[in-house]
Amino acid sequence: MKMSLSPLGLGCAQLGNLYHAITGETAEATVRQAWDEGIRYFDTAPHYGLGLSERRLGAALSAYPRADFVVSTKVGRVLEPDPGGASRTDSQGFVVPAAYKRRWDFSRDGILRSLEDSLERLGLDRVDVVYVHDPDRHFEDTVNGAFPALLELREQGVVDAIGAGMNQAPMLAEFVRRFDLDVILLAGRYTLLNQPALDDLLPLCAERGVDVVAGGAFNAGILATASPGTMYDYAEAPAELVERAQRIAEVCERHGVELPQAALALPAAHPAVVSVVVGAHDPGQVRLNAERFRRPVPRELWTDLIRAGLLREDTVLRQEERP
């Protein structure tokens, strides 16, 4: 990849009023706090708040030199006006008026339109990274339309890097095999509770030099606090998973480590991972996550988790951190 990503990135779904509304001032302050913490990589998407995240992120980043930050956005959902929906609230988790509707479109024309619209909302003349977003049910269209279009855009110098962002590992691995990708965004599939990406995807990315951005390190909430929460992958967590998270938290505590601290450190320690992206609803959350990310985790923690059967034995860490 031509550019480098800051080790900690800001995921910007919350800037689009994910789960609850925040003010424009809070969104701007959140980005400003991220900048003050040394974060220079910002990830957004049209899906996040029906474009609100992109608009807020672009406005906040206008205060900084364009060459000093990296922005990624996503394609696959085209936003179309829906005047009849303006009186309703979006039904996909974002507290915004449903004045637009999402239309899946992984065709070449859809990719070009989506990117053009994103640039307008962001107020930028380019984005650095473009991911194909959640193509789980659109494999053929992605292979035949989206990636050829993105490869063309990269060849033309319109974007620097291309990839895919998904909540699963097998299809991402297939894309890495088929295409010359620069980076993937893997959400929730290499975490303290869930490591299926070790089966195929992460070794493949390491072999082929494809950078990995790790998202969903907290699995949507269960790992976000010192005592495990009850939400896992956007749904109520099964009791056995909460119990497993509690056992992990107890091992962490013996090493003087908070559960969220370990949750951020695990993906960051894999050689293929170049950045861990974490969302935040306000500046305080950014500050707390940055502090946790900077704290070192003793290598003995991983050893003890493996010995307790709470972490896979084939967990791969950077050489200097290997247990």
Active site residues: 48
Of 155, 162, 148, the C-alpha closest to 72 is 162
Q: Which two tokens stand for residue 280?
A: 């935040």
What Cα–Cα distance (Å) separates residue 170 from each residue in 22, 131, 143, 159? 35, 16, 15, 26
- Pairwise CA distance, residues 184 & 173, whole Å: 10
Of 105, 109, 156, the C-alpha closest to 132 is 105
DSSP-assigned letter for residue 237: P
- Pairwise CA distance, residues 49 & 17, whole Å: 6
- Pairwise CA distance, residues 23 & 17, whole Å: 9
